[in-house]
Structure formats: C-alpha cells, structure tokens
C-alpha cells in the first residue's frame, strides 16, 4: 500500500514536471551574453585582486543577496551544544562518533538540530573535515544503531514513513572511504534548519529572528536556501571548538538543492576552504541563461519557499537577471571550488554546470591560480582538478562513491600540501 502511494506521488511529480515547458535540446539553447565578471557596475575594468575584493566581489555578493537568495540577517542567535552520544569505537573502532544537539534560541522560542560527526581514530593531530546536509535524517546515512533520529523529520514525513528506516541513504555517505582517507565528516538533516515545505516556515530558523512573520514582507527577505547556508556556518562555528578538527581545512559538500545552498554558504563564509556542488543545477552551478532543464519560472513555481521574492521577477526572463552562476562560483576565489554533474541529470543541465565553472576561471586567473582551460566539456570520468575542479560521471542525479573519490582526491591535492 505504502509503495503504491509512493509510486502515485512520484508519477504525479513526473507528470507535473513534464507538463512544464522544459528544453532538453542543445540546439534550442538561446544565444546569450553572460554578465561580466571583471567589470564593475559602472563599466570600470577590474584587473587586480584588490579591485576584485574591494569592489567587484561585494557588488556581486549584494546582487545575489538582493535578487536571488535573500539577505542573511547579521544578528546572532544564541546556541548551546549538548553531546548526546559519544562513541569512541564507532565504525568498528576506526572512528569516534559524536552526536551533538544544537539548541538555537531567541529567549522565547527554541529550535533543535542534531549534528553527527565521525572523526578518524588513527591520526594524531587535527584532521580536515567534510560537512554536508543529509536529506532524510542522520540515521539514514548509516546502519550505526547508535545514531539518533533527526528531530524535525517527522514534521515532513509521518511516523511510519519508510524514510524513518535506518540506512536508506547510506550509499550517499561513504563514511568508510572518508575515514580511511583521514578525513572527518559532519552531517545534519537539512529539515532541522528549515523543514523543506512552504507550510513549515514557522518551524524554521527564520522564525527565531527579529521581525519574523509567516508572510514575506520584504522583497529580499531570506528563505530556505539562505537558512540552509546560514546553518552550515553554524556547523562551522561548532567544529571550530572541536579539538580534533582542523578549522583551516573545512570543505562543504552539498547535493542538488543542498549544492545550491553550499555555493551560497561558500560565497558568504570564507571559512569554507573547499566548496563542492554536486548536481546542483538551477539556482546552483548551472547557468540560468541557457534555459536548459529547470528554469527560474519552474523552480519558483515548485519551490516557492527557496529564493527571495525579488527572484520571482525573473520568471521566464532568465536573461534579465543581472547576475549568472559563473559569478557565484567566482565568489569562492581564491578558495577551491568543485562542480560535479551526472550524465543523465539533464534537469540540472550538466553543460550549464560545467560552463559556469569554466567562466568563473577569469577571477582565479587574476589570483594566478589554475582555472579550467577549455570550454570543451571533459569526457565522462575524466575529472579536472585544478584550483577549480569539475567532473561528469555516468548515471543519475545522486551522490555516488565515484563523486566522493573525486572530492577526496581534490581535498588531498589542496589540503595536504
């Protein structure tokens, strides 16, 4: 019965998407001109890293804030940390597992979130770390029976939903490989920060901030992607207090909607030294102006709670957005950034993801760093690992062992020398 209902829901979703006017034909990609990276808003040439950092970078950050993701409040929310479980012999003894409850509070209201961390045991000294949100609860990332259920999942999925089964998303979190390669890993369920539904905003972190109301009142008011990005920075705040974690070697990895949030987090918070967007598509790495796969109108319709209200004005007018996503990727410079696509993930526009990583290169070159040197897409499973990284792998929209293998190689290259 459960399976039948799920099948109906997924068929319905497919039909809804199919009805929308989505282009998958490369020959129908419009001719477009990308907004300039190295030219200021008044047409000034940007030719030094100083001009980039003092002028152009803040200008672009402001455009992404006001037109796309919304404004992250600068005020602080109190947070306390409580270690719920500590297991020095996790993963057959090779890791220490820790589960820490974050309690965010504004004095009147509290929101709880649960972080799961595994730290390799056989390394003396500090270790680099990958952080990333999971979609279905910390318990879904492992068969480790000590891992607690993430608190907010039940708001989204009822108590007997199959997502409550342990280990359902294990294949996306190859903890063995990560620990064996000498990295720590920290994950939280993204619903803990903003349960992913427009109806559940009152349970999100947004509701703790001054001026919060259920309706959006300001056109650049932040929404779910802004909240998820904010939450990743709070994970960094905590990890900086962890003795075994090297706070100078923090990588963030986000898949799909979390790939969008990871890029937005990396743009705002320079403590992320490697930013990885896995199959992030529209509103992530893909160039809006290609209008291939998901477009602004489609994403705003299906996910009205992700972007700020100003973004709605670009529905069916993607080319009028004053920014494009190569500029978002360039905001990571001179830190390292990696974009990954999947061959069959046309909804996310693999070529558009690649091209924004390519076009961001101009800013990396300003720093004397190595960008992607050709606008020819690399072949399947031929990763590019310069200061900007990119790969396309066979298969579907997902996070697979191959992706982790590449991310670990990229991190080895930049964190280990």
Record the tokens describing residue 378, joined without a space: 């690399």
Shortest Cβ 302–ligand GTR spacing (Å): 6
Name the helix (H) or strand (E) containing 112: strand 110-120
SS3 content of the chain, % helix, strand, coil (to 5): 40, 20, 40
Query: Position of tokens 């830190």?
Result: 335
Give whichever of 256 and 325 is closer to ligand GTR, judged by the CB atom. Answer: 256
**Whose Cβ is closer to ligand GTR: residue 225's or residue 236's?**
225
Neighbours of 375 (CB within 10 A): 11
Binding residues among 200-229 for ligand GTR as defined by CB under 6 A: none
Quick one: which of 220, 246, 294, 349 contacts ligand GTR (CB under 6 A)?
A: 294
| Binding-residue total with ligand GTR (CB under 6 A) | 7
Could you write out the three-class secondary structure of 367-389? CCCCCCCCCCCCCCCCCEECCEE
CB of 136 to ligand GTR, least distance (A): 12
Q: Of the listed 140, 204, 232, 256, which one is catalytic?
A: 256
Contacts of 178 (CB under 8 A, 6+ apart): 118, 130, 184, 185, 404, 408
Measured from the CB of residue 18, what is the shortest distance to ligand GTR in angstroms? 13
Query: Which residue has the CB atom at the shortest distance from ligand GTR?
Result: 256
Question: What is the Cα–Cα distance from 107 to 104, expressed in whole angstroms?
Answer: 9
Is the CB of 69 or the CB of 104 nearer to ligand GTR? 69
Residue 281 binds ligand GTR (CB under 6 A): yes
The answer to the question of residue 282 lying near ligand GTR (CB under 6 A) is yes
Residue window 310-339: x/- pattern of binding to ligand GTR, with contact defined by CB under 6 A: ------------------------------
Catalytic status, residue 277: no
Q: In this structure, how many other beta carbons lie within 10 angstroms of the beta carbon of residue 399? A: 25
What CA–CA distance (Å, rounded) separates 22 from 24? 7
Smallest gap, in angstroms, from Cβ of residue 299 to ligand GTR? 6
Answer yes or no: 397 catalytic. Answer: yes
Binding mask 236-265 for ligand GTR (x = CB under 6 A): --------------------xx--------
Q: Residue 359 Cβ, how far from ligand GTR at the closest point, in Å?
A: 21
Cα 303 off chain centre by: 16
Selected range binding ligand GTR among 120-128, 210-218, 294-302, 402-410, rule: CB under 6 A: 294-302
Closest approach of Cβ 196 to ligand GTR, in Å?
Answer: 9
Q: How far apart are CA 250 and CA 128, in angstroms?
A: 6
Nearest residue (CB) to ligand GTR, 70 versus 281: 281
- Alpha carbons within 13 angstroms on the beta-carbon side of residue 123 total 19
Q: Where do the DSSP E strands lie in 214-369?
A: 245-255, 274-278, 336-342
Q: 410, 76, 19, 106: which is closest to 11 by C-alpha?
A: 19
- Contact characters 296-315, ligand GTR, x per CB under 6 A: ---x--x-------------
In angstroms, rounded to a whole number, what is the distance separating the alpha carbons of residues 90 and 96?
Answer: 5
Vertex 335 angle, CA 333 and 341, to 5°? 85
Q: Whose Cβ is closer to ligand GTR: residue 190's or residue 203's?
A: 190
Please state whether the peptide bond connecting residue 282 to the residue before it is cis, i.e. omega within 30 degrees of 0: no
The verdict on 185 binding ligand GTR (CB under 6 A) reads no
Instruction: Considering only residues 69 through 108, tell me which ones interact with ligand GTR, judged by CB under 6 A.
Output: none
- Catalytic positions: 256, 397
State the residues that interact with ligand GTR by CB under 6 A. Answer: 256-257, 281-282, 294, 299, 302
């Amino acid at each position: 019965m459960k399976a039948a209902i799920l099948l109906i829901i997924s068929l319905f979703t497919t039909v809804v998407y199919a009805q929308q006017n989505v282009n998958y034909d490369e020959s129908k990609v419009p001719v477009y001109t990308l907004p300039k990276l190295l030219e200021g808003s008044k047409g000034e040439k940007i030719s030094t890293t100083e001009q980039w950092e003092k002028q152009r970078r803040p200008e672009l950050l402001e455009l992404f804030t006001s037109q796309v993701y919304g404004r992250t409040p600068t005020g602080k929310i109190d947070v306390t940390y409580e270690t719920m479980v500590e297991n020095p012999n996790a993963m057959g003894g090779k890791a220490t597992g820790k589960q820490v409850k974050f309690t965010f509070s504004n004095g009147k209201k509290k929101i709880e979130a649960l972080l799961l961390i595994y730290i390799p045991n056989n390394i003396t000294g500090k270790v680099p770390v990958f952080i990333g949100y999971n979609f279905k609860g910390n318990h879904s990332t492992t068969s480790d029976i000590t891992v607690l259920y993430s608190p907010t999942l039940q708001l989204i999925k009822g108590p007997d939903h199959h997502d409550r089964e342990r280990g359902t998303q294990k294949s996306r979190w190859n903890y063995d490989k990560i620990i064996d390669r000498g990295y720590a890993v920290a994950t939280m369920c993204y619903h803990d920060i903003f349960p992913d539904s427009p109806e559940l905003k009152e349970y999100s972190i947004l509701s703790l901030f001054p001026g919060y109301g259920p309706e959006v009142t300001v056109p650049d008011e932040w929404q779910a992607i802004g909240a998820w990005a904010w939450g990743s920075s709070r994970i960094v705040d905590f990890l900086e207090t962890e003795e075994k974690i090297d706070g100078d070697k923090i990588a963030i990895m986000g898949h799909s909607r979390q790939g969008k949030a990871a890029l937005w987090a990396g743009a705002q918070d320079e403590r992320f030294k490697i930013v990885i967007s896995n199959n992030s598509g529209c509103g992530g790495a893909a160039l809006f102006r290609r209008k291939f796969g998901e477009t602004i109108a489609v994403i705003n319709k299906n996910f009205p709670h992700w972007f700020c209200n100003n973004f709605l004005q670009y529905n069916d007018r993607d080319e009028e957005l004053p920014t494009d996503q190569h500029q978002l990727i360039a905001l990571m410079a001179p830190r390292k950034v990696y974009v990954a696509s999947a061959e069959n993930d046309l909804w996310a526009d693999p070529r558009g993801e690649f091209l924004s990583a390519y076009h961001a290169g101009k800013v990396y070159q300003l720093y004397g760093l190595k960008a992607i040197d050709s606008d020819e897409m690399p072949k399947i499973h031929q990763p590019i690992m310069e200061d900007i990284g990119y790969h396309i792998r066979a298969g579907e929209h997902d996070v697979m062992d191959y992706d982790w293998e590449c991310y670990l190689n990229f991190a080895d290259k930049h964190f280990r020398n």
